Structure formats: C-alpha cells, structure tokens
Amino acid sequence: MSLIEITQPAYDVDFEIAYATGNNFTGKPVYARPGCYLHADAAALLACAIDLARPLGLRFKIFDAFRPSEAQWVLWNHTPDPEFLADPRRGSPHSMGAAVDLTLIDGNGCELDMGTAFDAFTPLSHHGTTEISEGAQRNRLILLGLMTAAGWDFYRNEWWHYQLFSPRGRYPVLGDAVLPAPMMPSK
C-alpha cells in the first residue's frame, strides 16, 4: 500500500513536522527528515477539512501525520504513557497513515491559541476542558467542528490528534521502508 505525500500547493497547509526537530517532548529529532504522508482515505478527508476552513479564513498547520512504526517505538521507549501515546505493540493510527496532528492558523500564518502546546501531556490538552481560556476553548471547538464535519474521529486526550474511524484492523501498521525516501535516521 502506498501513502500520499501531503505537499503544497496540492494541499493548502503549513508544516512544522515536530519530530524532525528537537521541538518535541523527547527534546531531540526522531526523524532524519521532515515528511508528511497519509493513507489515501485520510488525505481525502484532509482535503475536505481544508475546503471547510477556507471560507472562515483559516488554514491548518500539520505537526505530524504518518509516523513510521520505528518512530512510534522511539516515542514509546522515551515516554510509555498510554494516555497520550499508542503502545506500538497495538499499533498507532499514525503508523497506518490514518492520523494527523494539527492546529489552526489564521490568514497571517499565526497559530490560534489552543490553551496548550502540541504534545503537552497534561489534562489541559483534553477536549472539553474548561481549565483554559474561553478563546482557546472556542478555537478547539472550531478545530473539532471542522475536522469532524470533514469525517475525522478525534482522540479525547489530545486536541491536536484526529484519525480515521476504527483504523485498527482496517489499515496495516507500516514502517519506514514503505516511503520513497527514509524519514528515520540510518543506523
């Protein structure tokens, strides 16, 4: 099965692939290069969400999409917290190309306030929390509305994470070898 590379201008999104930088919860790059890939089913829903956001003057910034199974092990070995990370033995929807981590940006490319940073492993990152500002709550609800209207499911503990419904069993867990160029560092 092949994955679709999400690139501009085909997809009107910005990218900040967090695991290709040290700006993530591990404090160091996990990927050797940034890449943004999704299963065709997920890519179609992303295109729909983009179309829904456009009339509102909003766009998306993607932090992560397909995550090779090797990367899921790196993350799990660093922080084995099932509240925020899928156990790689079960398989992550990210490793199926069936999930995307993102936020909303305005017409100037500025991120909307979501109350916490991406990958903040805290109850403040949960959908529906009222412990963040009203503006951040509103922004999260706009993101949730756009993504669910486009056909995505959400993960209750992470405002940034959206996935295809019931991906386990429908999509295989994939490793770095399926990509045209590796994202993982060579050993």
Residue type at position 162: Y
Return the structure tokens found at 155.
């993960």
Catalytic-labelled residue, pool 70, 83, 111, 158:
158
Cα gap 26→129, rounded to integer Å: 25
The distance in angstroms from the start CA to the end CA of the chain is 25
Cα gap 159→56, rounded to integer Å: 20
Residue type at position 85: L
**Residue that the structure tokens 């930088």 belong to:** 21
Is residue 83 annotated as a catalytic residue, yes or no? Answer: no
Backbone angles phi, psi at 84, to 5 degrees: -130, -10
Q: So which residues are the catalytic ones?
A: 158
